[in-house]
Amino acid sequence: MKKIDFRQMMDKNQFATNYKRMWPFIKPFWPMALLSLLICVPVGSLDAVIALFLKPYTDVVVVGKSMESPWYIPILIVGFTTVQGLLNFGGAYLNAWVGGRLTMGLKARLYEKLVAIEPSYFDTTTSGEVLFRFNSDAELACSGLLGNLKSFLTRIFSSVALIGVLFYNSWQLSILAIVILVVAVAPLTKVKKLLTSLVTRNNSCMFQLNTTYNETFSGNRTIAAYNLQDRQKSRFNSLLNDVFDLTVAMTRRTAWITPFMHFVISIGLGLAIAMGSWLIVQGTISPGNFVSFITALLMLYTPLKNITNVAVSVQQSFLAIDRVFSILERPCSLQEKQNPVSLPAVRHGITFEHVCFSYKKGVEVLHDINLDVRVGEMLALVGNSGGGKSTLVSLIPRFYDVTRGSIKVDGTDIRDFALNDLRQHIAMVFQDNFLFDGTIKENILLGNPSATDEDVKKALHNACLSEFIDSLEKGVDTYIGERGILLSGGQKQRVAIARAFLKNAPIVILDEATSALDNKSEEIVQRAIDNLMRDKTVFVIAHRLSTVKNANRIAVIHEGNLAELGTHEELMAIPGGQYRTLYNMQFKAPIHHGEAEQKAEEVA
């Protein structure tokens, strides 16, 4: 009977598919998992034993007033309850163990996917969604799979055994009872339909709430500076209101079910008592049968009610499994070659051949870029902001893949190298660098974990940080807070530069890497860069043209095109050239020096 209910709620296919998908995660400890399921058989069926024993007890002791062998019944009841209790304990333990291992495995696999995911995923996914998808969904998926399956099985066995007790006592009463029970639990099969749309909307509110918390954390300065508290509060409150409305709506849609069930059951009990009394008078059943029957019937109500509830949870976890696997099976847009070419060193240089790139289909950001940068060369990229300079350099470590054309290192397409191998040869410094929670030294060592203290010291010196470090009580072991929040912008940038120095990679990309430094330290750091980068291939993007003057060549990127390419002198010689115009604006303009600086910032 319940089986039919259950099948209505989840078609067999979905059941099989979901278990097949999860199998690799269960496989390593399948004997434990099986044991945790098998334990449901005795746990579930022992319920019925108590109901069953009430028959002889009532007939012999209560009705027959006989004290003949009454001693064994209470002892057996206590004995069985003890066994059931021990089994319950074992079941709970196994459940926690197996469930814990399963969640651990799935979360670890998801995190592995998360760290390997291509950057474009993060362009379009909010932090709240990531938290929800990679964490909450994994928990939901696992708890549904084992926990719910287990309660489901326990209840099935318990129901089957109790129904056996019903039939043992009286088949007439059993038929009546089962008809009533089916009517009573029927509405539960509609729960899923009633809830589905609400659950989806609820999830989306949860993403947004998570994201709001994250934004409040990361954007706290901006919120304070622009007095955005009220805006944040009203957005947050409106989300809370939505969640409240959804919760209330869920309750409104489903809360009538329990009272309805109680009502139907009470009718059933009334009928069973009337019919039972009649059957006793008729002599068809004994009073013991009747007591045992009613007990079994009352006991049956709970598992039966829960089976359908559990079926709903199983449904929910199946939806979560779907979402989890849509992530796990999501093809990475950055494909790695099966048999990658190894890249032991960079000997010749990097070539861009007819490189076109778009973030979104149809909106091309880079158009047919051709560039040849030799080892030992420093190429500066300049041009108006939004022109595509950062995009161009982000193609080298394959944060994104070219849409057309190719980028080659020593003549080999970068897509033919293993991703790790390629990135191992690239050091990058950005305008806004991410530092990890930890100390200065820990962050710098990320560039090269096996570096000696001497190397670290040299890198710090070259990044113009020694003086600052010496002024700190704990020196390089100073804790810098999450995202390096305890450092100034310029200090953060210099830590990132030191990290890049330590990496000592043959390809160096500096994307406005000295933008937060004052003129003096920028000059010093720039000199260190010039010295250290002599035998390397360097791409430098800088808005202060004074810092790029020494580059071997300068490329002007304008609206996604390589507009001009040449040495400082060559580009200055082009009448009305873009570089010449930019340069003159920064240095020759007859305006106050401070304003010139500001102007330069606006330009780049």
Ligand X SMILES: Nc1ncnc2c1ncn2[C@@H]1O[C@H](COP(=O)(O)OP(=O)(O)O)[C@@H](O)[C@H]1O
- Euclidean distance between CA atoms 387 and 403, whole angstroms: 17
Minimum distance from residue 181 beta carbon to ligand X (Å): 58
Q: Cβ of residue 119: shortest distance to ligand X, in angstroms?
A: 8
443 binds ligand X, rule: CB under 6 A: no
Rank residues 314 and 542 by Cβ distance to ligand X and give the closer one.
542
CA distance 99 to 105: 10
Does residue 415 belong to the site contacting ligand X (CB under 6 A)? no
Reading the block at residue 518, the tokens are: 């004052």
The interface mask with ligand X, positions 11-30, x = CB under 6 A, is --------------------
**Per CB under 6 A, 542 contacts ligand X:** no
Residue 303 engages ligand X in binding (rule: CB under 6 A): no
Cβ neighbors of 381 (< 8 A, separation 6 or more) are 389, 392, 393, 539, 540, 541, 554, 555, 557
390 binds Mg ion (CB under 5 A): yes
Contact partner at residue 365 from ligand X, Mg ion, none, CB < 5 to 8 Å by partner kind: ligand X
Q: Number of residues interacting with Mg ion: please give it, by CB under 5 A.
A: 1
Question: Of ligand X, Mg ion, none, which one does residue 112 interact with (CB within 5 to 8 Å by kind)?
Answer: none
Which residue's CB is nearer to Mg ion, number 300 or number 392?
392
> At residue 405, what are phi and psi to the nearest 5 degrees?
80, -165
Please name which of 298, 291, 296, 307 lies closest in space to residue 269, comparing C-alpha atoms.
298
What one-character DSSP code corresponds to residue 542?
Answer: -
For ligand X, which residue of 323, 389, 503, 568 counts as binding (CB under 6 A)? 389
Q: Which of 44, 276, 349, 387 binds ligand X (CB under 6 A)?
A: 387
387 binds, among Mg ion, ligand X, none (CB under 5 to 8 A by kind): ligand X
Q: Binding segment for Mg ion among 193-201, 327-335, 349-357, 389-397 (CB under 5 A)?
A: 389-397
Task: Out of 23, 62, 100, 123, point to the residue binding ligand X (CB under 6 A).
Answer: 123
- Structure token pair of residue 525: 């750091």
Please say whether the dihedral angle defined by the alpha carbons of residues 196, 202, 208 and 210, taken in this order, is positive or negative: negative
Instruction: Give backbone dihedrals phi and psi of 363, rounded to 5 degrees, phi first.
Output: -110, 95
Contact between 349 and 552 (Cβ < 8 Å): no
Nearer to ligand X, 381 or 497 (CB): 381
Q: How far is CA 424 from the centre of its chain?
A: 26
Based on the shown chain and the rule CB under 5 A, indicate whether residue 103 belongs to the binding site for Mg ion. no
Interface with ligand X (CB under 6 A), residue from 28, 74, 100, 386? 386
Binding to Mg ion in span 179-208, by CB under 5 A:
none
Question: What is the full DSSP assignment across 230-297?
Answer: HHHHHHHHHHHHHHHHHHHHHHHHHTTHHHHHHHHHHHHHHHHHHHHHHHHHHTSS-HHHHHHHHHHH
Q: Is 437 in the site for ligand X (CB under 6 A)?
A: no
Task: Look up residue 134 and give its DSSP letter.
Answer: I
Residue 174, CA distances (Å) to 57, 191, 281, 287 in order = 21, 27, 18, 15
Name the residue nearer to ligand X (CB basis): 359 or 434. 359
Contacting residue, 18, 151, 158, 391, with ligand X by CB under 6 A: 391
* Residue 544 contacts ligand X per CB under 6 A: no
* Least distance from ligand X to the Cβ atom of residue 404, Å: 16
Please give the residue ranges that form the binding site for Mg ion (CB under 5 A): 390
Please give the residue ranges that form the binding site for ligand X (CB under 6 A): 123, 359, 365, 385-391
